[in-house]
Amino acid sequence: MSQQASQFALPVEGDQIPVLAVHIDRAAIVRYCGASDDYTNVHWDQDHVKAQGFPDVIVHGWLVFAYMTQAVTNWIPREYAAITDFAVRYRRPVYPGPMSCGGKVLKRHEENGVQRIDLELWTKSGDGVTTTTATMTLEAN
């Protein structure tokens, strides 16, 4: 198995990240509650969220962002670059259903001999509304 960065062409400014389409259902939310130990009731208690005025249970922000990172790492695998920084903004609640995650390269620059890649990321719900945005920096190995 080859894990040499030299064989991988790093992206340049303006490159688009291939869009990752995901469908998050209630079973995926329950699995994530268990794996993350996050049982906050807005993620599973339908009566509670309805009483609060939300139409459905809310997908964990971190689960949405996990798929945003996979859109990135499916494209530049972890073997070639590490995620050093990210900032995520949860703009609208995400409900169970389809969503898509994408983004683009803002800038590639060298810092102390290391290639750093700045990205801008987004998630859209099935109806095309942007729910989550993020910036991320990768450092090539």
Helix/strand number for the chain, H first, E second: 3, 5
DSSP 86: E
Q: Which amino acid is at 6?
A: S
- Three-state DSSP class for residue 76: coil
Whole-number Å distance between alpha carbons of 132 and 80: 26
CB nearer to another protein: pick between 4 and 14: 4
CB of 81 to another protein, least distance (A): 11
CB nearer to another protein: pick between 14 and 61: 61
Please tell me whether residue 78 binds another protein under the rule CB under 8 A: yes
| Binding residues vs another protein (CB under 8 A) | 1, 3, 22, 28, 31-32, 34-38, 42, 52-53, 58, 61-63, 65-67, 69-70, 73, 77-79, 82-90, 93
